[in-house]
Structure 1
Amino acid sequence: MAANSDLAYVQPSSDGVPFILHDSTVDRTTDGTGAIRGMTSAQLKTLDAGSWFAPHYTGVRMPTLAEQLADLRTRGGNLLLEIKGAHTRDQVTKIVQVIREQQMTGRVFIQSFDVASLQYSYELAPELPIGLLRSTLDADPVALAGQLHLTAYHPPGSALLARPTLVADLHQAGVAVMAWTIDSAAQWRSLNQLGVDGIITNRPAELAGWISAG
């Protein structure tokens, strides 16, 4: 069960620069207001993106995807990169370009709820593994995984627990399974018994400790 990848969310500025941000607006995590897609990269770089978290981080700027990857390349580790929301082919092309420029194709795994973004990613960079995020289970996840050339299928952990044979079915088709977002040790244990390949959690340090102790 994997627990050694950073998770980041990528979205474009109005001038097409991929930035790391979870929300669709900058309101919650910066001193600015407005949709990230309605602001230029220069405008985004003026925002204080650290004060909301702690005074020590006052003045920290929102990172671009390039900056995030450069930092990760230096300190080590892998990145589970979620393409957040719908993206055009040109926007996905830019994401792929940045990953290649940073020489990180072997350490980035792309996931998204947006099927078109995953299709663009596969067409542009078949060497990048892709995972489809789902809010509910599809009628036939194995068939869908084949159609989309998925490396992995990423449903809610609770849905997997309600349909436990699915993990084995996907594994038989050569598709990994990653469950989200699971924060309890009891569910970690249940999902581990099903054989999931990874868990997305808000408690990564605790999950890593739980795996080490097991």
Structure 2
Amino acid sequence: MIELKGSNWSINQVRGVVNLLKDSSVFGQVAISSLRLTVLERVHRLSPKLDTQLIVSGWRKVRASLGMVEGYNAPASSLTRSRVKRLHRKGILVVGGYADSPAQWRALARLGVDGVVTPSVREYSEWAR
């Protein structure tokens, strides 16, 4: 996951990132994430095969952008098992936002998310074994 931080990435700035990825061996293994749908639309315009993931703060933004991205990074508080299943049926990846304890990881796992954003990578990888 490569996050394009900030709110105003120009088409030329996005092109630079996309070109770097196209010239790399990881192109098919990464997705671009952003808080801004407009940034992800620019990614799609330049490289339709590159997956995108919108970082959202709540379910309202998910509903408003369905069909425009391949995945969502959503806080656990906005996710339910039925919402995750609904997105999965549409082929959409769901990552549970910022979790840094085994209790939070278990809760996200019960929801059926595809991944977790965590600052505790080592601890999470040990827990996930």
1:85-124 pair list within 5 angstroms: 85=6, 86-124=8-46
- From 101, 108, 116, the equivalent of 1:191 is 108
- From 44, 53, 56, the equivalent of 1:131 is 53
Matched-pair identity in %:
33
Q: Give the residue type in structure 1 aligned to 2:70.
A: T
State the TM-score, normalized to the length of structure 2. Answer: 0.91
Q: Give the residue type in structure 2 aligned to 1:158.
A: S
Between the aligned partners of 1:103 and 1:96, the Cα distance in structure 2 is 13
Q: How many residues align?
A: 128
Q: Deviations over 1:103-153 (max 9, x none)?
A: 3211221110011110010111111111000122216x356221x1x1111
Runs of 4+ with >4 A deviation: none
Gap regions ≥5 residues in structure 1: 1-79
Q: Deviations over 1:69-128 (max 9, x none)?
A: xxxxxxxxxxx1000112011110111011112232112211100111100101111111
Q: Give the residue type in structure 2 aligned to 1:157.
A: A
State the TM-score, normalized to the length of structure 1. Answer: 0.57
| Higher Rg of the two aligned structures | 1
1:5-84 pair list within 5 angstroms: 80-84=1-5
Gap regions ≥5 residues in structure 2: none
Contact 1:181–1:199 (8 Å) recurs in 2: yes
Between the aligned partners of 2:87 and 2:63, the Cα distance in structure 1 is 6
Q: Which residue of 2 aligns with 1:153?
A: 72
